[in-house]
Amino acid sequence: MSNESLANLLKEERRFAPPAELAATANVTAAAYAQASEDRLAFWAEQARRLSWAVEPTETLDWSNPPFAKWFADGKLNVAYNCVDRHVEAGNGDRVAIHFEGEPGDSRSITYAQLKDEVSQAANALLELGVTKGDRVAVYLPMIAEAVVAILACARIGATHSVVFGGFSADAVASRIQDADAKVVITADGGYRRGKPTALKPAIDEALAKCPEVEHVLVIRRTGQEVSWTEGRDVWWHEITTRQSTEHTPEAHDAEHPLFILYTSGTTGKPKGILHTSGGYLTQASYTHHAVFDLKPETDVYWCTADIGWVTGHSYIVYGPLSNGATQVIYEGTPDTPHQGRFWEIVQKYGVTILYTAPTAIRTFMKWGDDIPAKFDLSSLRVLGSVGEPINPEAWIWYREHIGAGKAPIVDTWWQTETGAMMISPLPGVTETKPGSAQRALPGIAATVVDDEANEVPNGSGGYLVLTEPWPSMLRTIWGDDQRYIDTYWSRFPGRYFAGDGAKKDEDGDIWLLGRVDDVMLVSGHNISTTEVESALVGHPAVAEAAVVGATDATTGQAIVAFVILRGTATDSEELIADLRNHVGKTLGPIAKPKQIKVVSELPKTRSGKIMRRLLRDIAEGREVGDTSTLADSSVMNLIQAQLPSAR
């Protein structure tokens, strides 16, 4: 974020008090902050009791071997039981759990009782295929209700799921399957996107050529498109699940049993397998969903527009809402299919009361025009959430005015794949909100901003966001790499968790997030590392060297801009640039395709050979180039600029 927009942010003086009616009936009041600060662990022990335990925990936190935490370690529970069966047992089996809306317009509503049957059948099917507790199962699916069923079936039998976003390429899937050593893959023939079926199975077939350890592929039929079939390995989901019993007795697993691995980009090329476990994770996913969205399960209709392949889908489509017995909408497709009002049509159709989406989507809706949401009845909406990147005040105000009728509170929720659940956010019945600020750590969470020397900054100053106490849904490690876990998160500021985000405290002590300080880009809310894109580019025969930066972009937050040095034999042409973009798309997935690729003859490097991306970012954002004194050769920047007359 530029200094100019930062200064503007902090001049923001608009304030919005919670609606009186919401405040009066809110699930969580200001007392929660006081209670949690008095005894943080007692506070979390109480939240853990919102769940149903087979063996109640007597220990809250074991921090005897930091940074390796254990929460509720002597407790036992079944996560899927908590998300499904207990609601049926409480007499709410007829409540709709999922209103599924397919992109082509097909829809299906699934009650908690039906969900229990489907999850049990899927669990029995996995057992029949030889999946046992502790095995890893990769999930590569479109946004269909079966994705939730598949995830819960894994959780139910204690298999650790590793969901890979359906937009990722075969190579990306293969490396994730290998790293997690998955035994079974659950996929679909395809899903509907942008008005047509998009195949998924071919990517799995290609990936599995490199993953001989995978024993079975379960294939859900969604689009009916042609699929190639490996006899003995591939199994149709509908064939194996429908012949299973709808009874499955959930076993209680240890609170620290591995629930899932989810890969996120690191600053070095290899993605990090973030490991989450059961009891602490579910406690915080469930509590934050209850507190931050003020969910009233009997009357609310909740909709989180994220994909299940990202952590937002894990915590706020699967585990948070279902553990709270919510009725929710799941939508398969894109917001502009078949028209740009599709989201608002869905809100109207189901009477959505709580909407959780991303700033990049909000900015897109702004671009499409105010008249589009205005055509629909959005009066059911009472709480609006934002996640994924800093939300600029313009988008915040637009969201409030045009979607929230100028009265629904906005909760700007800061968290990460690694934190597992929300960490910093307003509470809708308590907080006087400020456009653009996530404001304050949630009850039971300790966050602050420090300078380079790890000193807490005073109000009105900026630095790095750190978390100063362990929290229940924290990552437990990086799968298979404890040292990388320590180095990445706990070494920059010893004893504190380094989030990798810049932040500022305003005069009231409220926190404003300012984007990544490391080399991870945020494109439409997706975390992509510069190094990964660089490696992909250099993997192309025409490219000798590459440097990638995230340039501020009005729609996507950041856009990927690549600077490449071609090999002697290659020449700069439109075809080559298109080829390079496609190559990155094929290697990492379409989301990682650079928006611009600029051919240069040199890259700015320090004497130790580190690329100075800061200077390239200056060029990509059309600014005057900053201090070049630490470059090995300071004339390089002049050379690059001379080669890029139209640098913008």
List residues near ligand WT7 by CB under 6 A: 264, 310-312, 387-390, 412-417, 438, 499-501, 513, 516, 522, 525, 527
**With respect to ligand WT7, which residue has the nearer C-beta, 501 or 534?**
501
Judge if the upstream peptide bond of residue 335 is cis by omega within 30 degrees of 0. Answer: no
Rounded to 5 degrees, φ, ψ at 306 are -70, 165
**With respect to ligand WT7, which residue has the nearer C-beta, 205 or 501?**
501
Measuring CA to CA, which residue among 451, 481, 478 is closest to residue 466?
A: 451
Minimum CB separation of residue 313 from ligand WT7 in Å reads 9
DSSP class of residue 407?
T
Say how many C-beta atoms besides its own lie within 10 A of residue 12's C-beta. Answer: 17
Minimum CB separation of residue 514 from ligand WT7 in Å reads 8
Minimum CB separation of residue 221 from ligand WT7 in Å reads 30
**Longest Cα pair distance anywhere in the chain, in angstroms?**
74
Cα separation of 378 and 244, whole Å? 42
Contact predicate 325/296, CB 8 Å: no
SS3 344: helix
DSSP class of residue 340?
T
Residue in the block written with tokens 């807490």: 456
Cα separation of 335 and 447, whole Å? 34
Contact predicate 50/459, CB 8 Å: no
What is 189-209 written as a DSSP string? SEEEETTEEEE-HHHHHHHHT
Minimum CB separation of residue 215 from ligand WT7 in Å reads 30
- Go through 421-451 and write b for each residue having 16 or more CB atoms within 10 A of its CB, e for each that does not: bbbbbbbbbbbebbbbbbbbbbbbbbbbbbe
Annotated binding site for ATP: 388-390, 412-417, 501, 516
**With respect to ligand WT7, which residue has the nearer C-beta, 142 or 525?**
525
Residues 6+ apart with CB under 8 A from 158: 132, 133, 134, 251, 253, 257
Minimum CB separation of residue 216 from ligand WT7 in Å reads 30
**With respect to ligand WT7, which residue has the nearer C-beta, 116 or 516?**
516
Minimum CB separation of residue 516 from ligand WT7 in Å reads 5
**With respect to ligand WT7, which residue has the nearer C-beta, 78 or 175?**
175
Minimum CB separation of residue 388 from ligand WT7 in Å reads 5
Minimum CB separation of residue 260 from ligand WT7 in Å reads 14
Measuring CA to CA, which residue among 105, 102, 107, 306 is closest to residue 191?
A: 102
**With respect to ligand WT7, which residue has the nearer C-beta, 220 or 475?**
475
Minimum CB separation of residue 309 from ligand WT7 in Å reads 11
**With respect to ligand WT7, which residue has the nearer C-beta, 190 or 420?**
420
Annotated binding site: 193-196, 312, 388-390, 412-417, 501, 516, 524, 538, 540, 543
Contact predicate 391/414, CB 8 Å: no
**With respect to ligand WT7, which residue has the nearer C-beta, 216 or 516?**
516
- Taking CA atoms, 134 is separated from 75, 81, 82, 182, 338, in Å, by 18, 18, 19, 10, 42
**With respect to ligand WT7, which residue has the nearer C-beta, 179 or 501?**
501
Cα separation of 92 and 107, whole Å? 22
Annotated binding site for CoA: 193-196, 312, 524
